[in-house]
Amino acid sequence: MNFKNVVTVFLLGALVFSCKQQNKSANMEAERGLVFAKGEKITSDNFIGTAFLNALVEADSTNPNAVGSVTFEPGARTNWHSHPAGQIILALDGVGYYQEKGNPKIIVKKGDVVRCPPDIPHWHGASTGTAFVQIAITGREKGETVWLGTVTDEAYDQ
């Protein structure tokens, strides 16, 4: 291999390394302000819009609570649902909404805590113009989440 080929291989290697480092830096930059990584995109029909889940703790026989960080993009939300053992939502960032069946929608902001009573139909998600990040602590000792109907755009916008 002559000198020119060695230099070419070296420069190509440096370029590839530089691109990988820039992509890694961009990904780290995007998540720098987050307490937990965004997680995986949720593909369930029980969500409207784009949301991500980072399952932090799986419920088991020692700890019956599941804990997850959920990131909702603007306008994203859950369907109506309930939890046999209730749920606690800790707002980490952004502006979100929470509504129990028969009650007005409330605005949830960073630092707020919402207690979802057992077996009460409710939904939660991001506001129309701002993403929302929450920690959901869901009791599983009495059963899994019960998914109900879709939160229509009309109901969401009220």
**pLDDT tens by residue, 67-105:** 999 999 999 999 999 999 999 999 999 999 999 999 999
pLDDT band at 44 (very low <50, low <70, confident <90, very high): very high
pLDDT band at 135 (very low <50, low <70, confident <90, very high): very high
Same domain, 3 and 68: no
Same domain, 28 and 80: no
Residue 48 belongs to domain with CATH number:
2.60.120.10
Predicted confidence at residue 10, as pLDDT, reads 45
> What domain range includes position 131?
40-157
Same domain, 61 and 89: yes
Output b/e per residue, 7-17; b: 16+ Cβ within 10 A: eeeeeeeeeee
Same domain, 53 and 123: yes
Same domain, 112 and 57: yes
Question: Which residue, chain included where needed, has tokens 């046999």?
Answer: 84
Same domain, 1 and 60: no
DSSP the chain: --HHHHHHHHHHHHHHHHHHHHHHHHHHHHHTT-SS---EEP--TTEES-EEEEEEE---SS--EEEEEEEEPTT-EEPSEE-TT-EEEEEEEEEEEEEETTS--EEEETT-EEEE-TT--EEEEE-SSS-EEEEEEEE-TT---EE-----HHHHH-
pLDDT band at 15 (very low <50, low <70, confident <90, very high): very low
Average pLDDT, stretch 138-147?
89
Domain count, the chain: 2
Pairing of strands 81-82, 65-72: unpaired
- pTM across the whole model: 0.77
Same domain, 73 and 124: yes
Same domain, 139 and 98: yes
DSSP 101-130: TTS--EEEETT-EEEE-TT--EEEEE-SSS
